[in-house]
Structure 1
Amino acid sequence: MASNGDLDLTEIRGLRGSPGYFKKGKLLSIDEVSACLEFKEHLNDARENMKFYISNVKTDQFFKLNIEFPITKLRHVTTEDCMRCIVQEQYIGIGNNIKPEPLKDLSCWSAEFPPKEELPYEQAFEKVQRIVPTWDAEPFQEEIKDQFASSPAFDNSSSRYGNFVFSFPLSDLLKAYKSQHCQNGDPQLKVLGTAMYSQEIAHMVIVHSPDTDRYDKLPMVQTVSSTAESLPFFYRKEEDGELYWRPESTSGGLRVTISEGGEIYTCPLNKTRTGKFCVWNHLIVAFHLPDSKYLVIPEKQLLENLSACEPAMPYLKDPRTNLSKAEAEEIIKELKNSQ
């Protein structure tokens, strides 16, 4: 049984004041998030929303697939003014720093994944077939493919945070961070915690200097063998030294659900045509940049790794910054031509 300390949450506010919660030092499962929300009383509106979405899917076997994704690339999305400032100043800082203590002084990046057609759908379908051995999963194959990796965390074409995307190999960012912020060793990679909003369960990993003691109590990201009986949500693989993430939910909505007994069936479409609403996992890698420091990236590299995307709903930045992808692409083209 979980102790009260295991269930403690800190209230946080996201962009435009969206309410949420944070659990320090642990990447929570959907079941653990559910336990935390049940334990707390008199919490903000995000609690009731997430409780509703979790109740939709908590027992669904589709969330037992845990397909692993290699994490080799990160993306930072922003608005036009911020993008121009980053290019002009040649660095990325912490942005809005009005955050509770565990999330202060951080530059947050999301994992970037290959196009959906390159993701391991076959592995997901094979696992579905094993879960429903007495049922024929073939008639549901297209719906399963559509809902696999369909959440905002896997969408490179749009973002709720702006129209301008800086995308870099993780190895390049770690190399820059080491040279600029780690005087006495290598960057430390630790489990920062889990941020929870209405539908999003974000697993957060922090990169920090060995010179700071601020994160001494956080657990290190584990190095494990792929043959281990139990794998964490985020880990470094012993065999290749690469980082991997195993989210429970890769879907923004479910057209196919699998009961605890292994029955498989389709859900009616909702108004967004996604089927049953559900929670989804997000991976965030945060770089610790204290004392108004920043991550320096030369202008040439910034422009080479800058692209445009469509706005996604709900759009969480100032509505006046909301552009179409075509408008953002034209701005980037003019900026590159002026260099």
Structure 2
Amino acid sequence: MEAQRKRKGSNVIFIHKHHLCLHDLKMYNQDLKNIYLVKTNVPEYPRPEFHVSDLRHDTQQGGLLRIWKDEGFKDPHGGLKDPDSLSLVWWSLVVGPQEIQSAETRLLDKFYPNRMEKQAEKKPSYLDEIYPDRNKQESFLWKFATSPAFGEKSRFGSYRFTFPLKDVVTAYSQQFCSGAPPIMRVFKTSLYKQEVQYSVLIHSPAREKLFSEYPLLAYDDPNAVCTYRDGHFIWRSQAMCETHSWKLIQKPDKNRMDAKSLYSHEHQFYVWDNVAVALHVDHGQVLKFDCDRLRANLTYCEKPTENVPAGIHYDSFENAKSLVGHLWPDAGFPLEKEPSLNLIF
């Protein structure tokens, strides 16, 4: 296993053919020299399992115009700007309120498998009559979802296309695989200053020889960071927070988990992880979707206050609405903003 820096002067480190958990990454930290990865004073936080059925593709104005013109997605550089010289179309997992809520339930069931029965068996006290919600399990997981992997803001531009995973896989199968199922492989682990990205490679069976050195993505490995099963990705996040402003409190006697708010001077910054999906397309090829479908799946994203790559430009909401209205004059509905997670919970 070898860590590589593909760009001269870049701090990004790529470890191909592996999805390394944080524990294994720390074992390589003597070579990686990442100051965030070795922090030991990080408050306790949850490590949930997300079941994800949607993908998103964020882009700026130039990318939007190309997608509108091509009626789909391609690598405009044909692999020339990719560190592995591969022509890829990149997507990210969409982890929204529904995925967070179901992950919270799985987390509670894992730690307290008999929690509902035990709580039902517990004899009520006079305090339960005075404070009926005192033993109620309140929603807590969303408070830890502070990394860009969960945010409504985009690090790659003002425009976000969101598609069901099954629709992307089906379109790719029909257009690139002659109807056969595409092949999914463990691509690489990319370590940035604070970000750990686990990449999944999807390719046509016709390119099996080209990518045979990459392991197939697991189906049911309980220890894998990312697997694919029954039409959705399973992502076992190990670092879901960027800013650690909450501490996880476990209460085994009450079969509960809670989030304790920390004072600002106690906040910690650690690495955060996410999963990216790379679709292999040959130079010039386009993963096509109906033009109206593209518009229906398009929303506006605001610029984050930090973690924006150099060279990314953003449009104001008013300018974005005007541009999208010009490109899709018959849509019949205005461009909407991506909803905020904090407003939903």
Alignment TM class, shorter chain as reference:
0.7 to 0.9
Distance in 2, Cα, partners of 1:334 & 1:170: 28
Matches within 5 A, 1:256-275: 256-257=246-247, 267-269=262-264, 275=267
State the identity %: 24
- Structure-2 residue corresponding to 1:44: none
Report the secondary structure of 1:337's partner residue.
coil
Distance in 2, Cα, partners of 1:117 & 1:178: 26
The one-letter amino acid of 1:281's match is D
- The yes-or-no answer on 1:109 pairing with 2:101 is no
Distance in 1, Cα, partners of 2:165 & 2:281: 17
Given the superposition, is the C-alpha separation of residues 168 and 143 from structure 1 closer, same or farther in structure 2, using an over 3 Å criterion?
closer
The one-letter amino acid of 1:315's match is V
Q: Deviations over 1:32-55 (max 9, x none)?
A: 2222231x2xxxxxx54xx22122
Q: Normalised by the size of structure 1, how large is the TM-score?
A: 0.76
Q: Normalised by the size of structure 2, how large is the TM-score?
A: 0.75
Distance in 1, Cα, partners of 2:323 & 2:192: 32
Asked whether the 8 Å contact 1:95–1:107 carries over to 2, the reply is no
Larger Rg: 2
- Structure-2 residue corresponding to 1:316: 309
1:304 Cα deviation after fit = 1.4
Distance in 1, Cα, partners of 2:98 & 2:231: 24
The one-letter amino acid of 2:308's match is Y
Matches within 5 A, 1:47-196: 47-48=32-33, 51-57=34-40, 61-62=44-45, 65-96=46-77, 97=79, 98-101=81-84, 104-115=86-97, 119-120=101-102, 122-123=104-105, 126=108, 145=141, 147-155=143-151, 157-183=152-178, 185-196=180-191
The one-letter amino acid of 1:56's match is K
- The yes-or-no answer on 1:220 pairing with 2:196 is no
The one-letter amino acid of 1:195's match is S
Given the superposition, is the C-alpha separation of residues 292 and 119 from structure 1 closer, same or farther in structure 2, using an over 3 Å criterion?
same
Distance in 2, Cα, partners of 1:210 & 1:198: 35
- The yes-or-no answer on 1:252 pairing with 2:216 is no
- Identify unmatched segments of 5+ residues in structure 1: 41-46, 131-137
The one-letter amino acid of 1:244's match is I
The one-letter amino acid of 1:169's match is P
- Identify unmatched segments of 5+ residues in structure 2: 113-133, 253-258, 332-345
Report the secondary structure of 1:85's partner residue.
helix
Distance in 2, Cα, partners of 1:100 & 1:117: 32
The one-letter amino acid of 1:23's match is I
Q: CA RMSD in A?
A: 3.3
Asked whether the 8 Å contact 2:239–2:273 carries over to 1, the reply is yes
Given the superposition, is the C-alpha separation of residues 191 and 58 from structure 1 closer, same or farther in structure 2, using an over 3 Å criterion?
farther
Q: Deviations over 1:98-134 (max 9, x none)?
A: 1222x6211110011223795346448748987xxxx
